[in-house]
Structure 1
Amino acid sequence: MSLRVIQFSTGNVGRHALRSIIRRPGLELVGVHANSPGKVGRDAAELCGLDTATGVVATDDVDALVALKADCVVYTSQAESRPDAALREITAFLAAGTNVVGTSLVWLIYPPHADAWLREPIEAACETGGTTMYVNGIDPGFSGDLLPLAALSLSERADEILVQEICDYGSYDDAEFTGASFGFGTTPDRVPPLFLPGVLASIWGGPVRLLADRLGVVVDELRERHEAWTATQTIDCTMMTVAPGEVAAVRFAVEGVVGGRAAIIMEHVNRLTSAAAPDWPTPPGGRPGVHRVVIKGVPGVEINTHVGDEYTDHNEAGVIATAAKAVNAIPAVCAAPPGLTHLSALPVAQVQGLMP
């Protein structure tokens, strides 16, 4: 019997998740949420670029979607800037008996790290509805949990774990959220939302603590660092146009301190075009992006992961991969015990991809 699924939002990530749900054997699309008046009433297939109508049209009526009592909702709506509204929507589904897989509310990548204001209402809703919630993506997510765990499985001893996303974001059409979060196109004296005290640790501290817990070590503190690089000439790319003197690259990290030293490090090097911040780390082989883990220890392990190819832009591929992380987890989450869960508690092989 197919699992009945709702797609919540049809934006950058949601449209890919929607397409995957429609095409996936074992899943039945029963509802679609859209905020935009221009999307409400349109068939799901039209919203994700498929030709054959599904008969399922988008609605902005959350109560009607909750009343469907689907097996799972894929929640990809941007939530970090509207956490209270997102929490109300998610807990309504959970309490009504619908499991949730999500790519937003990234504080929940590792629930034990999340603050009580977010964790406790969700746990209560899961208990009421006998449901499960799981949040993951490519980063935060895959690059900070599954990838280093794979590398650690090859390690006799790990002295330091470095996880990096190094990416040219120039082709990513998301200045409103991603660009603003990084501070791209602003002057370096302005502090973007991502670099306010505690924000980096709230997001990437979860993966740090997940790895520490798996290794049986105690994180003494989470340290944040960040720096910006300003353009020396005009940079014109899909994301935005950046004038000389404005921020065109950022480098930031969360460091898990163990025994007085930075032992588990989640670092980002994000730029607009390959010409930005030429002295900072770059992806290997001239690629535009990489998710990398480097284990210093015995024997020492490095894994470089690239998404995208000659047909798919790396930023578009990253969005597709984020959607896939959620959709692929649906069967495992629906079968899991009630509560907030995470990668370590689910089957590792969450592979449901289509073959030709």
Structure 2
Amino acid sequence: MSSGRLPFRVFQFATGNVGTEMVRKTVQHPDLELVGLYCYSKEKVGRDAGEIVGIEPIGIEATNRIEDVLAAKPDCVTFFGVWPDVDLFCRLLEAGINIVTTSDWITGHARNVNFTHSSGKKATELIEAACRRGGATFYGTGMNPGLAQILAIVNTAGLSRIDHITVTETVDVSCHRSVETWKRHGYGRPVEDPEIPQMFKAGATVFVDSIHLIADCCGVEIDDVDFEIQLGACTEKVDLGWWVLPKGSVGASLAKYIGKAKGEPKIEVHLEWQMTPKTQPKWNVQNCYLIAIRGNPQIMNRHMILPAMDSGQMDWSNPAYMASIGMTITGMPALNAIASVCDAKPGLMTSADLPLRAFAGRFHQSR
């Protein structure tokens, strides 16, 4: 399968929504050994990683010292923070530590366009240079953007001609309990607030990355990416249990990133998000990923994600379990790619650069 270096030693950063689930999944993964946990919350530092995420103690004490990460000499850092930390990434890469992350990074295009580093250099230039100095590899992924676009690319393999590709995420997002993230997208603000479209566009600009990833694989050059959005206003005050949305505030949205070549729409990513069904307008959220490809022939694909059939888990009414599914499908593309990333040549990688096995799950011996 790989170089035979299993297990790969992993030091994880962050225990938010995705990170909490990934501690549990890293401990279970046959390729991986969790050797450390970096936490940003002071109250978590010094506690056992298992205790922090609600499992049995695993003998790993959480730290907030970068020196501890470097001293552990892991094969790979998994970074599950919400936003990229380019300076941190460079320091780890220069130390020869590979990185996989779900933090708003697919190609780096969006970071280059929308964020200015203090050095004046592009984020991708800094990451690539750090990879060369340390002989390490950097890779960003996730479910969407990430695996959803990989699925779209694979679906084109049997076509003699591609005319147009649309990837749609149609989901209830109330399981993603991060108030600051949603505020950054304009949720919770009065729907008529004129700043919301630009806030959303900036907050979700990594989806532009995903259009460029598809374009790179399918051999088309994207000249421009347009943005459109419709907002759904809450018809009443909505208490989510972790956040309260006022009546008249944004509680749902349909956003479209439209990649154009020579003025013609070629690749689109649509985000049909519902925090609550009590909005006007509202959309028929289907809780799946839809891929529509026009060409010869045409392809329609519905990617559905369902609860496991393990005894006691096929329960759609358990909010905690349903939330864990969302976090699992976001983080597992990173964990399952670690072996391939560690075996890859040094540099800034995208999904176009990794072998097919990087996108494969694992059988567990206990099953």
Structure 1 equivalent of residue 301 of structure 2: 303
2:155 aligned with 1:155, yes or no?
A: no
User: Which of 248, 252, 255 is the matching residue for 1:252?
Assistant: 255
- Aligned-residue CA RMSD in angstroms? 2.2
- Tell me the secondary structure at the aligned position of residue 58 of structure 1: coil
Question: How does the TM-score come out when normalised to structure 2?
Answer: 0.86
User: Which of 228, 232, 236 is the matching residue for 2:235?
Assistant: 232
- Tell me the secondary structure at the aligned position of residue 81 of structure 2: coil
Q: Quick one: which amino acid aligns to residue 57 of structure 1?
A: E
2:107 aligned with 1:110, yes or no?
A: yes
Q: Which sections of structure 2, spanning at least 5 residues, go unmatched?
A: 113-120, 308-313
Q: Which sections of structure 1, spanning at least 5 residues, go unmatched?
A: 284-288
User: Contact (CA 8 Å) 1:221, 1:256: kept in 2 or not?
Assistant: yes
2:59 aligned with 1:55, yes or no?
A: yes
Q: Quick one: which amino acid aligns to residue 219 of structure 1?
A: I
Give the superposition deviation at 1:237: 2.4
Inter-partner Cα distance in structure 2 for 1:194 and 1:322: 25
Give the superposition deviation at 1:276: 3.0
Q: Quick one: which amino acid aligns to residue 96 of structure 1?
A: A
Give the superposition deviation at 1:279: 5.2
Question: How does the TM-score come out when normalised to structure 1?
Answer: 0.88
2:201 aligned with 1:209, yes or no?
A: no
How is 1:42-191 mapped onto 2 (pairs within 5 angstroms)?
42-51=47-56, 53-79=57-83, 83=84, 86-104=85-103, 106=104, 108-111=105-108, 115=112, 116-143=121-148, 145-177=149-181, 179-190=182-193
Q: For residues 65-117 of structure 1, what are the alpha-carbon distances to aligned partners after superposition, in whole Å with 9 as ceiling and x for unaligned? A: 122221101011222xxx5xx2222111111011000110x2x3024665252
- Tell me the secondary structure at the aligned position of residue 331 of structure 1: helix
Quick one: structure 1 residues 259 and 87, their matched pair in 2 at CA, closer, same or farther if it must change by over 3 Å? closer
Inter-partner Cα distance in structure 2 for 1:6 and 1:192: 39
Quick one: structure 1 residues 136 and 257, their matched pair in 2 at CA, closer, same or farther if it must change by over 3 Å? same
Inter-partner Cα distance in structure 2 for 1:139 and 1:315: 16
Q: For residues 112-135 of structure 1, what are the alpha-carbon distances to aligned partners after superposition, in whole Å with 9 as ceiling and x for unaligned? A: 665252111111111111000000
User: Contact (CA 8 Å) 2:17, 2:177: kept in 1 or not?
Assistant: no
Quick one: structure 1 residues 231 and 279, their matched pair in 2 at CA, closer, same or farther if it must change by over 3 Å? closer
Inter-partner Cα distance in structure 2 for 1:346 and 1:277: 43
Q: For residues 293-332 of structure 1, what are the alpha-carbon distances to aligned partners after superposition, in whole Å with 9 as ceiling and x for unaligned? A: 1112222111111224243654431211111111111100
Structure 2 equivalent of residue 286 of structure 1: none
Aligned length: 341
2:344 aligned with 1:336, yes or no?
A: yes
User: Contact (CA 8 Å) 1:39, 1:58: kept in 2 or not?
Assistant: yes
User: Contact (CA 8 Å) 2:11, 2:37: kept in 1 or not?
Assistant: yes
Structure 2 equivalent of residue 34 of structure 1: 39
Structure 2 equivalent of residue 268 of structure 1: 271
